[in-house]
Structure 1
Amino acid sequence: MDISPGTWNSSFGGAGSGGGSLSGPWYSTHKTQLLGALLAAASNFLISVSLNIQKCAHLRLVCRAEQKPYYRSKLWWCGITLLGLGELGNFTAYGFAPITLVAPLGCVSVTGSAFISVFFLKRTMRTADILGGTLTITGIYLLVTFTPNVPQELTARQVQNYLVSWPFLVYSIVEIIIFCILLYFYKRKAVKHIMVLLMMVALLASLTVIAVKAVSSMIALSVNGKMQLTHSIFYIMSVLMATSCAFQIKFLNQAMHLYEATAVVPINFVFFTTSAIISGVIFYREFQSATLLSVFMFLFGCLLSFLGVIIIARNKKEGHLQIPFIDCGHIPGQKLTGKIQPDSHSSCYGTLNKEDDSVKRQS
């Protein structure tokens, strides 16, 4: 890992790299992963647009005098369609760029949502949003510039070799032990701390990104004429991808149910990105030939992205729908003077206990 002037120039697009032009050596060697980075950034931005559109659709439905299910809203379906396209773009990006580059670009979704909400949800732009966005953009630039250049054509045989390599086997054993310990505290001890939940999400995410990278790369090779779909490893990785993703969503939804999104989003991003980078380094050996300077600047770019997301999410007030209360004094037969709040998990209002033990629910 030597740091030479040629390395510095090629990293920054200096004299040795053709001035950073599209015809320079840097672009020639990084054009595939640059395409993946642009695709990942655009996909995450599209996801942030879709989430804001869905939120806008829900708010419009609440304000209407005649209520109707959200799935009958054209605006909501528009948001869902964009969300599907964004996730498809993210999946495709793993076939062109390393995990260590695609995973951190999830910060585009958080940053984009902060700015897009100004237009869709009429929220005010904060100084923290501008500062966080600046740090995130700087971090993205460093990530793209100093990401290790590794071959992105992964055949089924290469994936099999990676799967049985001793570094990944050791990593898998350690990860399984940690996950089982966390799951024991979650199930048996009823410990539902945000760190416990999101650490389980991150451990599952490391398997998800490994499988997504393998499946996406094998599909890309098959489309280009090098058939990989006949190998059993393709279907093994597909099942691993679907299973780990399903459980990941389960624990993430649990965290979102128990804690505010302003706390879940930044912690989940940091945990997920860290876990994805570690899995990319161990499984796909993406930093095997990287220079010390590239590793340092890449990690510094990750740190800036983490800080940017945390600053944007910090002290961000969440909008809550105003749910009306029922004054018990206006209910026939009731002498209570308190108020009953609607049950957030039901379409009915809370139970009124009467002295004769008969129970009525007010809808």
Structure 2
Amino acid sequence: MSDPNDWDFFVGLGLALSSNLFIGSSFIIKKKALLTLQQYGVRAGAGGHGYLRQWLWWAGLITMGVGESANFVAYAFAPAAVVTPLGALSIVITAILSSKYLNERLNILGKIGCILCILGSTVILLHVPKSEEVENFEDFIIKIQNFGFISYVFILIILNIYIAFYYGPAHGKDNLIVYIILCSTIGSLTVMSCKGLGLALKDTIYRKKILTTMILQVSTTLTTSVS
């Protein structure tokens, strides 16, 4: 009889991979719609809103919504260490499709970057554990109440305030790493929020529990606002 943890892992993996396919494709669909519209109306960058009447643009938006939803559900089944790094594959998919449908070409550095994305995702899939310590929402609550995690969040808040209001305005124009750090550190909290909310919804569906805790509300708020 197969291990339930293995089943959850492969369900989460399938959702994560399919989400990247949808998300990567959505950029191409929306770009194709904007290029088509550019021939007949004002560009979106110049204040035009004709794309709102373009069915192809809406198809791209819906495709992205499907991909983001699948990615969110994947956190409930697979470890965050699997779902999050696989997001880089959407870049590879976008690069491949843009070459075929938008006649865009990557330079040698872009191709090397795509290869590294694929290799990195492969290494993670080969070595990440299929089971995880946090299997339900109660385990998640215990983990985030740990002193180490609270200290981590406190340090991130201080660091991001400093970067956003002091270091960023002074050096952000000359150094892209400043804003990459800002985005990555906040993103780590978003990942945890997605994981918590995903586990909460999973417990609600499978264990018929009513979720009224403040931690669920915080997870929902962080997921919808920071994302």
Interval containing the TM-score (normalised by the shorter chain): 0.7 to 0.9
137-146 vs 96-105, which moves further: 137-146
Note the aligned Cα RMSD (angstroms): 2.6
Distance in 1, Cα, partners of 2:28 & 2:99: 10
What is the CA-CA distance between 1:188 and the residue it aligns to? 6.5
Q: How does 1:163-242 map to 2 (within 5 A)?
A: 163-185=144-166, 189=170, 191-192=172-173, 193-242=175-224
Q: Is the 8 A contact 1:99 1:213 kept in 2?
A: yes
1:112 aligns with 2:93: yes
Amino acid of the structure 1 residue aligned with 2:188: S
Match of 2:22 among 19, 22, 46: 46
What is the CA-CA distance between 1:226 and the residue it aligns to? 3.3
Q: Is the 8 A contact 1:43 1:86 kept in 2?
A: yes
Distance in 1, Cα, partners of 2:132 & 2:29: 37
Q: 1:56 to 1:185 in 2, by over 3 A?
A: same
2:12 aligned partner: 36
Q: Is the 8 A contact 1:53 1:120 kept in 2?
A: no
Q: 1:132 to 1:203 in 2, by over 3 A?
A: closer
**Which digits, 9 at most, give the CA deviation of each residue in 1:21-80, with x for residues without a partner?**
xx8x7x765331222122111101111101001001111111237987011001101000
Q: Is the 8 A contact 2:75 2:194 kept in 1?
A: yes
What is the CA-CA distance between 1:130 and the residue it aligns to? 5.5
Q: Is the 8 A contact 2:42 2:50 kept in 1?
A: no
1:244 aligned partner: 226
Distance in 2, Cα, partners of 1:31 & 1:139: 23
1:159 aligns with 2:135: no
Q: Is the 8 A contact 1:37 1:144 kept in 2?
A: no
Q: How does 1:72-87 map to 2 (within 5 A)?
A: 72-87=53-68
SS at match of 1:119: helix
What is the CA-CA distance between 1:139 and the residue it aligns to? 2.6
SS at match of 1:122: coil
What is the CA-CA distance between 1:160 and the residue it aligns to? 2.5
SS at match of 1:224: helix
**Which digits, 9 at most, give the CA deviation of each residue in 1:249-268, with x for residues without a partner?**
xxxxxxxxxxxxxxxxxxxx
Amino acid of the structure 2 residue aligned with 1:36: G
Distance in 2, Cα, partners of 1:129 & 1:187: 27
Q: Is the 8 A contact 1:228 1:234 kept in 2?
A: no
SS at match of 2:207: coil
61-70 vs 170-179, which moves further: 61-70
Q: Is the 8 A contact 1:105 1:140 kept in 2?
A: yes
Q: 1:65 to 1:81 in 2, by over 3 A?
A: closer
Q: Is the 8 A contact 2:33 2:56 kept in 1?
A: yes
What count of residue pairs does the alignment treat as equivalent? 220
Q: 1:139 to 1:195 in 2, by over 3 A?
A: closer
What is the CA-CA distance between 1:120 and the residue it aligns to? 2.0
Q: Which TM-score applies when normalising by structure 2?
A: 0.85
Q: Is the 8 A contact 1:41 1:105 kept in 2?
A: yes
Q: Which protein is bigger by CA-based radius of gyration? A: 1
Q: Which runs of 5+ in 1 are unaligned?
A: 1-22, 246-363
Amino acid of the structure 2 residue aligned with 1:50: S
Q: Which runs of 5+ in 2 are unaligned?
A: 44-48
1:297 aligned partner: none
What is the CA-CA distance between 1:195 and the residue it aligns to? 1.9
Distance in 2, Cα, partners of 1:198 & 1:135: 19
1:147 aligned partner: 128
Distance in 2, Cα, partners of 1:124 & 1:166: 49
Match of 2:39 among 63, 78, 81: 63
Distance in 2, Cα, partners of 1:187 & 1:194: 10
Q: 1:145 to 1:191 in 2, by over 3 A?
A: closer
2:80 aligned partner: 99
Q: 1:214 to 1:130 in 2, by over 3 A?
A: same
Amino acid of the structure 2 residue aligned with 1:166: F
